[in-house]
Amino acid sequence: IVVTGVSEKVIEDNVKAIGSKFGSSVSKNTDILVAKSVTENSTKLQKARELNKTLAKPILIISLDDFIAQTSI
């Protein structure tokens, strides 16, 4: 899981709860990108969108609010 626009500390418990770990940059090995807002124009979001054009298993781009709602303990 890679995070953009927000501190990893905000979702640390949620990430642990689903048995995942943090990455620092977006790559073809990234499964999930959590963004403060999916409409922002960060470098990480741009890269994920570009990679998604060619990846067989696209990177899930999800808003912070949706991620927290779906992974609440």
Global pTM value: 0.90
pLDDT in tens, 55-65: 999 999 999 99
pLDDT, average across residues 30-47: 94
**How many angstroms separate the CA atoms of 42 and 57, rounded?**
21
Split at pLDDT 50, 70, 90, the class of 73 is: low
Q: What is the mean pLDDT of the chain?
A: 93
| H-state helical runs in 1-73 | 12-17, 43-52, 64-71
Closest CA to 58 of 30, 34, 18: 30
